[in-house]
Structure 1
Amino acid sequence: MTQIQRKTLAQEVAERLAEGIINDEYAIGGKLPTEPELMKMYGVGRSSIREAIKILSIKGILSVQQGVGTFVVSKNIQESLETRMNRAQIEEVFEVRSLLEAKIAARAAIHHTKKELKIIKSYLDLRAKLAEENQALECYQTDINFHVAIAEACGNPLLKEIYKIASKHVLRTYESSHNNSTDSFKASQKIHTDLYQYIADKDPDNAALTAQKIVEKQY
């Protein structure tokens, strides 16, 4: 089953270091603090620091000179889409996700495999169960997984990846704005079932319309 992947500590440290380089906290040609100093600064272990340095070395940002230290050699950092979304306002992230929703649903209706359809259905059923049991956090995650599973079935890897990144941020707003309630998820279970059925029936037009209604909370 498709799960939302969370960043590792090393990836988070690499992003923080990259931000410092972009903001001139670490100058080109300058030497990074020692491993123990970086461990203390970021509150992580030695392995996370080493992996973060490796990530930035592969990108050509840092150069490790054995026995001497780690040096900044470039500021030419191409920000990842995920990093940009991390800095975006949640309204912007929601807009990106809502623009993709109908298109992804329509494509999933055409391109899904039997295996992908089975995964979508399993999340739909689990969503209903968790909502009825008022298991809020688990329900929120499963709702996201349901929609991501549809994206996985859309047949366009780029659309899928953009949607998955946006969905991570949507999950955080669920956790902060729904007050541990599953009421809206119970209310929207039928329309989610309709969406699944249109995808299963290979009906792209109604799949797209239903996905848009979910975005606009027309249920």
Structure 2
Amino acid sequence: MIKRISLAEEVAERLKEQIRSGVYPLDTKLPTEPALMKTFGVGRSSIREAIRILSNLGYLRVQQGVGTFVAEKEGNETLGQAFERASLADLLEVRQLLEIRIAEKAALNRTDKDLHKMSLLLDDRKAKAESGELIACIEADILFHQAIADACGNPMLTELYSASSKHVSLAFKQIYQHTQVFLDTQEAHVKLFTAIKQRDALRAHEFLNEIIEAV
């Protein structure tokens, strides 16, 4: 049976994405209920339920008589805690399983807008690697793969990658001392992008494996 999400859950998901992407930074006060009702085209009860959901997950805090504020960018969801406790080996294994499936689905579901975003991020990854900016290069690499996850068409896979990516980023910062591995894998990333552009899921799988084995 297919579970249909409620309007409140849909609003909560969209608000969570806006919080994570920085539309509403930490400690920012959310717009009023009427403004949110107009923005999302739903009733007051759906807005209040969405806020309750995000408050329970740790993203928002409600101050009676004052307003609703962003409490945490990543919330305090159990999944995030699980990633924090995971060993590096376990984290990289989960990453491999996630990214292979994500790359395959992105090849089938990507849009021209998705491709444009990937292309810009791929160029940025290369520029940061060539200039030796390790931290910026790692972040550019993560953002490129996040763009692929965003294009895969499965919100759960996108969510899982987003939850794991910050921990992968931390691991990379501990493992690597320079950007050489990112330079070495740039061509494989270009091939991965090309496979996704050509809607070739099999080749996307192949090049993603090549990337993961290299890093």
Query: Given the two structures, how large is their TM-score scaled by the length of structure 1?
Result: 0.64
Unaligned runs of 5+ in 2: 1-17, 28-50, 58-63, 65-75
- Matched residue, 2:163: 165
Deviation at 1:90, TM superposition (A): 2.2
Structure 1 residues 108-146: Cα deviation after superposition (integer angstroms, max 9, x where no partner): 011001111111111101111111111111001000100
Matching residue within 106, 109, 122 for 1:108: 106
Q: Distance in 1 between matches of 2:19 and 2:143?
A: 6
C-alpha deviation, 1:203, in angstroms: 0.6
| 4+ aligned runs moved over 2 Å, structure 1 | 2-6, 54-60
Structure 1 unmatched runs, 5+: 11-53, 61-65, 67-77
Q: How does 1:98-137 map to 2 (within 5 A)?
A: 98-137=96-135
Supply the AA of the counterpart residue of 2:209: Q
Q: Is the 8 A contact 1:94 1:166 kept in 2?
A: no
Q: CA deviation at 1:57?
A: 11
Larger Rg belongs to? 1
* Per-residue deviation, residues 34-70 of structure 1 (Å, max 9, x unmatched): xxxxxxxxxxxxxxxxxxxx9899539xxxxx9xxxx
Q: TM-score, normalised by structure 2?
A: 0.65
Residues 128-167 of structure 1 show CA distances to partners (whole Å, capped at 9, x for unaligned) of 1111111111001000100111000000000011011111
Whether 2:87 is the aligned partner of 1:97: answer no
Please tell me whether the aligned partners of residues 181 and 214 of structure 2 are also in contact (alpha carbons under 8 angstroms). no
Q: Work out whether 1:185 is the aligned partner of 2:201.
A: no
One-letter code aligned to 2:192: L
1:156-189 CA deviation, whole Å, 9 max, x = no partner? 000011011111101001112211x111111110
Q: 1:205 to 1:130 in 2, by over 3 A?
A: same
Counterparts of 1:3 and 1:213, CA distance in 2: 34
Count of aligned positions: 157
AA of the residue aligned to 2:140: T
Tell me the distance in 2 between the aligned counterparts of 1:79 and 1:151.
Answer: 20
**In angstroms, what is the RMSD of aligned CA positions?**
3.1
Tell me: higher relative CO, structure 1 or 2? Use CA pairs within 8 A at least 6 residues apart. Answer: 1
1:204 partner amino acid? A
CA distance in 1, matches of 2:19, 2:129: 19
3-state secondary structure, aligned to 1:216:
helix
Task: Indicate whether 1:205 and 2:197 are aligned.
Answer: no
Deviation track 1:51-105 (CA, whole Å, cap 9, x = no partner) reads xxx9899539xxxxx9xxxxxxxxxxx9521122112222211111111111111
Q: Distance in 1 between matches of 2:181 and 2:202?
A: 25
Q: 1:3 to 1:97 in 2, by over 3 A?
A: farther
Distance 1:137-1:121 versus aligned 2 partners, 3 A rule:
same
Q: Does structure 1 conserve the Cα–Cα contact (< 8 Å) formed by 2:109 and 2:151?
A: yes
Kept in 2: contact 1:3–1:145 (CA 8 A): no
Q: 1:151 to 1:58 in 2, by over 3 A?
A: closer
Show the counterpart of 2:144: 146
Per the alignment, in what secondary structure is the counterpart of residue 214 of structure 2?
Answer: coil
